[in-house]
Structure 1
Amino acid sequence: MDPVRVTEIPEAGVASKSWWREVTRKEWNALAAGFFGYALDAFDVMVYAFALTTLLKEWNLNPVEAGFLATVTLFSSAIGGIGAGAVADKLGRKKGIMATILLFSIFTGLSGLTQNLVQLAIARTILGLGMGGQWTAGVLLISETWSGKHRGKAIGIMQSGWAFGYVMAAIAAMFVLPLWGWRTLFIIGIIPGIFLLIWLALAVEETEMWKKAREEKKSTKLDFFQIFRADLIRYTIVITFASTFLMFAYWGLFTWMPGYLSTPVEKGGAGLSVLKSSGFMIPSMLGAWVGYVTFGFFADKFGRRPVFASYLAVAAVLVYVYGTVRDANTILLLGPLVGMFGSGAFSGFGAFCSECFPTRARGLGVGFTYNVGRMLSAVSPMVIGYFAGIYGMGSALGLTSLAYLLAGATIFLIPESKGKELE
């Protein structure tokens, strides 16, 4: 028996030319909260990837140590994501978003004041708690505000906020790193967080679905084990595995992509300068933005499962090729495609996760499956760093191709949920 009562919508997901006219102000505000929150999340997390080469030199770190800093952030983000889901079930979706933004903004700034590897690891660990929670709270807010007819589009647009934040991080790195260094790059992450929090407090409303569940005393009782009971355990296990494979591929690829571009050719890299490698990341993230958005539209039209699997199959091929080429022009041309197909499938998680779990367990279900996957995949940057030291950076990135394929295959173990309304 499905855990969520649903109402089938005829022609669900067929977007008319004026689909946006059906969207209310409350829905747009919820989407804006999710989009800009996730964009800021991406900015604060990914400035580390752009500062990586500088840190390696300044602190005399080896690739495994540098990968470890990314790994502890991902591991703690899994804990934060699970916790945020439970908190959002207890206190509300809006408060969950605001708490995570406050946390990761503060500790991004504090990262710029650290003096050694241990201090930076502590700051990045606490930052990760907020980072993981942001996605969970944003997906919950949008899923319970938008209709099933357009939910895939909305979550796809929200997910594209990551690419927007990544591009902003790349632009900041291009100008800030050469002039003021990596510390300033981290510190400026506090400023947009303050403005976003003020706007959230004034403009965004809590979801009616959560408020109704609270009145019925369904969301206030925290029962962690409900997602492991007979009606939900199938979804919990399968989505967690899909999340693990996809995030192993993503974090292994995109944490080290700037490093791959700036690593000398004799060490298996592309041999670009730090400035040029930051510039080359921008087309990749523009491609990722296209991937996030188009995935949502395609998933509403053709279904979650076939689109998810197709994106990841293409990503597996592109990533393998990307790690073998050394010509700058070819890398530049492949970058947007790698970004599009290597990132776009993340838009599917918010939709099918929210459609598999009932309101009483939606926060916990979404937070657990997505973020335990993040926890299990947290070793990816360190693993890629280890193999890069042996076989070269480009060859090490090829390991992510297999993970993309496994993620695409796993999704067929859960039912299609296109066009279903949550009740």
Structure 2
Amino acid sequence: MSEKNKPWYLEISKSQWYSLFAGFMGWGLDAFDVMLYAFALTSIMKEWSINTAILGLLASLTLLSSAAGGIIWGIVADKIGRKKALMSTVLIFSICSGLSGLSQDIWQLAIARTLLGLGMGGEWATGALLVSESWPAEHRGKAIGIMQSGWAIGYFLAALVASYVIPAYGWRVLFFIGILPALFIFYVTKFVDEPRIWIEKTDKNRAFMSSFIEIFKPYLLRFTIITTLISSAVMFAYWGLFVWLPGFLSSPVEKGGAGLSIVKSSNFMMPTMIGAFLGYVSFGFIADRLGRRPTFSFYLIISAILVYIYGHTRDVNTLMLLGPFLGFFGSGYFSGFGAFISELFPTKARGAGVGFTYNTGRALSAFAPTVVGFFAISYGLGVSLTITSLFFFLGAILIFFLPETKGIELQ
């Protein structure tokens, strides 16, 4: 077979595949730990007699701390390297999942989830940097798409475990299982290398905050502002939707839900996450072919339409049918962030750029679960979920204020 006709996956070295697997697993395990909370919501609400607004606020606190973690660990990754930073974040969110299971009241749970958020936010930033800087430009979108699909796998596993563990053992044991991802750091230690571009282009003696200052200089400020606005819009939509989606499915019909049991709602989420997995992976291939901007915008517009339909549907068969499509479009666009943001910022500021823009957006979107939970008290969860459609549309418009970066070499 000639070099010209060789399949793209044969162009990738073993070390690049190792880096991708590290990013994939790290993000999948992150999702597993984070989404255990989403599936435990109704059980916690019943045991402690608290309402949707309080639990939504707790989810918002986790997102706020994850935003801080992403910004901090992006800067740390610029200083100490992508590999070490990745291992540290996985260890943090794994331990704090176990602490969540030991909570005796809402305040203790709030502390544990806030600390967990620090690791959660940092993991995505460090994993995206590791993969983006390890893979060649023409296949970077595919790599980030595959990495991002780890979230769907983690979400799927969380749904599967929750459907068996909560009815039999309760929500505390569910959180104890979340400690297991800490074992992943042994794989990273043995098989993953630092990206060559970071080793060669980074001044190890520079000030700790120098990369953070760089992203606010005139030549990068436009990218910093617009990317932050985009991530804010789409993450408000995502977290407002997916934090409450299991709750919508398991809440009584008279409260605006779909009226399913916890087991059934968990089972309904599995096809949704299969759709999300396919959406994450397909996004990278499409974006490498058609470009980052049109692919991103298309996914968001379809998401906005599907959310409105889904939130106003109570028919079980229709919900099951729409679930995979909601997962495909409502999650797949996240595969655009890792490659797109990395391609906008130079190596000396890439960690800060990825960490700040993505996670400031996450911080500003942290109120989404609270907003949806608040409106759900009066209007029901189904109707309240459709608020997120507006933010999907906003992200689809803002993306065209940035340049197309398909196929460019990292600076």
Q: Normalising to structure 2: TM-score of the pair?
A: 0.97
Give, as a single letter, the amino acid of the residue that structure 1 aligns with 2:141. Answer: G
| Contact 2:211/2:348 (<8 A) preserved | no
Pair 187,241 (structure 1): closer, same or farther in 2 beyond 3 Å? same
- Is 1:387 paired with 2:365? no
Q: Does 1:116 align with 2:105?
A: yes
1:107-130 Cα shifts (integer Å, max 9, x gaps): 001100000000000000000000
Please, which of 262, 275, 283 is the counterpart of residue 287 of structure 1? 275
Shift of 1:17: 7.2
Deviation of the 1:101 alpha carbon: 0.2
Q: Residue 192 of structure 2: which of 204, 213, 223 is its match?
A: 204
Q: Is the 8 A contact 2:78 2:211 kept in 1?
A: no
Q: Which runs of 5+ in 1 are unaligned?
A: 1-14
Q: Does 1:265 align with 2:259?
A: no
Matched, 1:59 2:31: no
Q: Which one of 71, 75, 98 corresponds to residue 87 of structure 2?
A: 98
Residue equivalent to 2:341: 353
Q: Is the 8 A contact 1:289 1:340 kept in 2?
A: yes
Cα distance in structure 2, aligned partners of 1:207 and 1:17: 25
CA spacing shift, 1:315–1:17, aligned 2, 3 Å: farther
**Which of 410, 413, 420 is 2:401 aligned to?**
413
Q: Confirm or deny that 1:245 pairs with 2:233.
A: yes
Q: Distance in 1 between matches of 2:222 and 2:5?
A: 35
CA distance, structure 1, for counterparts of residue 310 and residue 358 of structure 2: 27
User: Could you tell me which amino acid in structure 2 is paired with residue 103 of structure 1?
Assistant: I
The one-letter code sitting in structure 2 at the alignment partner of 1:63 is T
Residue matched to 1:230: 218
Counterpart for residue 61 of structure 2 = 72
In the comparison of the two structures, how many residue pairs are matched?
Answer: 408
Whether 2:75 is the aligned partner of 1:86: answer: yes
Helix, strand or coil at the partner of 1:403: helix
Structure 1 residue 189: Cα displacement:
1.1
Inter-partner Cα distance in structure 2 for 1:216 and 1:370: 24
How far the C-alpha of 1:422 sits from its partner, in A, is 1.1
Equivalent pair of 1:214/1:220 in contact (CA under 8 Å): no
Looking at structure 1, the residues matched to 49 and 365 of structure 2 have their Cα atoms a distance apart, in angstroms, of: 26
Do the aligned partners of residues 299 and 223 (structure 1) sit closer, same or farther apart at CA in structure 2, a change above 3 Å counting?
Answer: closer
SS of the residue aligned with 1:150?
Answer: helix
TM-score w.r.t. the length of structure 1 is 0.95
Tell me the CA shift for residue 223 of structure 1. 4.1
Question: In structure 2, what residue type is equivalent to 1:133?
Answer: G
Is the aligned partner of 1:277 residue 2:265?
yes
Answer yes or no: is the 8 Å Cα contact 1:89–1:219 preserved in 2: no
| Partner residue in 2 for 1:5 | none
The answer (yes or no) to whether the contact 1:47–1:173 under 8 Å persists in 2 is yes
Contact 2:303–2:326 at 8 Å: present in 1 too?
yes
Equivalent positions of 1:212-223 (< 5 A) are 212-214=200-202, 222-223=210-211
Q: Segments of 4+ in structure 1 off by > 6 A?
A: 218-221
User: Percent sequence identity over matched residues?
Assistant: 58
Evaluate the alpha carbon distance shift between residue 227 and residue 84 of structure 1 in structure 2; reply closer, same or farther with a 3 A threshold. same
Q: Distance in 2 between matches of 1:405 and 1:188?
A: 37
